[in-house]
Amino acid sequence: MDSGRWRRRAVSRGMLPLLALHAVNEYYRLPWKPPVTAGLLASNTLIYLRPSFLDSLLPFVDEVWFNPHLILKNKDMKRFFLSVFYHVDESHLVYNMMSLLWKGIQLETSMGSTEFASMVVALLGLSQGISLLLAKSLLVFFDYGRPYYSEYAVGFSGLLFAMKVILNSHSENFTNVHGLIVPARYAAWAELILIQMFVPRVSFLGHLGGILAGILYLKLKGSYSGPNPLTTIIRELTSLLRWPVRFIRNTFRLRRRRILGQGTVGGGERRSLSGTWRCQACTYDNSDWLSNCEMCGTSQSSESGGFSRQVSRRSRDLSLEELRRRRVERFG
């Protein structure tokens, strides 16, 4: 999450093609492609690029900066929810999206798409809410309004810090954080301190809020044994959105069955195809223009059950060669 005022986007440095190539390569080697992670990557990138078909729909970055003072003063929820999807320049976007690609693939693959999507929604609300609460608390209790209460910040990194906490919560391994070897479960804290030391313009409260959001999410999930309400809502919404696709697929499947047909040859019931009738004695399909079966001579009127048992028995006792001979004679 980057802080500061930014009115003009930086000139492209050619990093986006590298991000696209890296994402395609990662997804190509995966047997299952995590869709939520791909959607988050695409949405962040499209918001940054602002293609012409979205330009009139998307607010500008000056309208969505995360600013505690403006959010509380104007009850501006647009800044609260949308600021995480905006980035100040190409390097800011690419760095965050590379991190999202790595963390998102691991978490979504292990949790499932629905659970992962509900986690992202929960972390967004928790991290932004905690950052807002911290900024307001510093102002009320310590009269510390600047830089935190009046700072402007955007970026996905707060959620990335929360994801890192969740991803490493049960790890006993060590990891490398910018050259420093630390236990994986404390990697987010080490990165928070190191980034603040070497990149002071980033949002300290935004990153800290993300770490605390990840810890709080794990606590809430561990203490609640029932089904996740957010997961249930997202699952129902997903099922609702898939319903038209299933309806169209089932409609075409039904039409295909009707076209191909699924009757069995030799059945005793009459099967009415267009302009044909089936003989019950030998199962030959005859034209509706004929009153007797071309194969064995059985009358069509006997299809209703009026033919004598003697005729039926005699027709069924005919050998296959005899039926062929009679047909040749009839057409000869």
The CATH number of the domain holding residue 99 is 1.20.1540.10
- Residue 145, pLDDT > 90, answer no
What's at 60, amino acid-wise? F
Q: What is the per-residue burial (b if ≥16 Cβ within 10 Å, else e) of 8-45?
A: eeeeeeebbeebeeebeebbeeeeeebebbbebbeebb
Report yes or no on 46 lying in a domain.
yes
- pTM recorded for the entire structure: 0.69
- Residue carrying the six token digits 């490398």: 176
Name the pairing type of β-strands 285-287 and 153-154: unpaired
The active-site residue out of 118, 207, 302, 315 is 207
Looking at every residue in the chain, the average pLDDT score rounds to: 81
**Which amino acid, 276?**
T
Contacts of residue 295, defined as CB under 8 A and 6 or more positions apart, other chains included, come to 279, 282, 284, 286, 323, 326, 327
Please report which confidence band the pLDDT of residue 200 belongs to, taking 50, 70 and 90 as the band edges. Answer: confident
Catalytic residue among 157, 203, 302, 315: 157
- Residue 105 has a pLDDT of 96
Residue 328 or 135, more confident: 135
> From CA 249, how far away is CA 238, in angstroms rounded?
17
Residue 85 CB-density burial (10 A; 0-12 exposed, 13-18 middle, 19+ buried): buried
316 part of a folded domain = no
Query: Do residues 296 and 279 make contact, with C-beta atoms less than 8 angstroms apart?
Result: yes
Domain of 93, in residue numbers: 15-232
Q: Over the range 169-178, which residues count as b (16 or more CB within 10 Å of their CB) and which as e? A: eeeeeebebe
Residue 321 forms part of a structural domain: no
Q: What average pLDDT does this structure show over 261-272? A: 43
What's the Rg (C-alpha) of the chain? Answer: 35
Identify the three-state secondary structure at position 285. strand
Q: Would you call 91 a catalytic residue per the annotation?
A: no
Query: Is 206 within the bounds of a domain?
Result: yes
Q: What are phi and psi of 152, to 5 degrees?
A: -110, 130
Confirm whether 178 is domain-assigned. yes
Domain count, the chain: 1
- For residue range 236-259, what is the model confidence (pLDDT) as tens digits? 777 776 667 666 777 766 665 555
Looking at residue 108, its pLDDT comes to 96
Q: How would residue 320 be classed by pLDDT, with cut points 50, 70 and 90?
A: low
Q: Is residue 164 part of a domain?
A: yes
Q: Is residue 5 domain-resident?
A: no
Assign 273 a pLDDT band (cuts: 50, 70, 90). very low
For residue 56, is it left (φ>0), alpha (ψ between -120 and 50) or beta?
alpha
Q: Which two tokens stand for residue 76?
A: 């501006």
Question: 202 in a domain, yes or no?
Answer: yes
Active site residue 157: yes
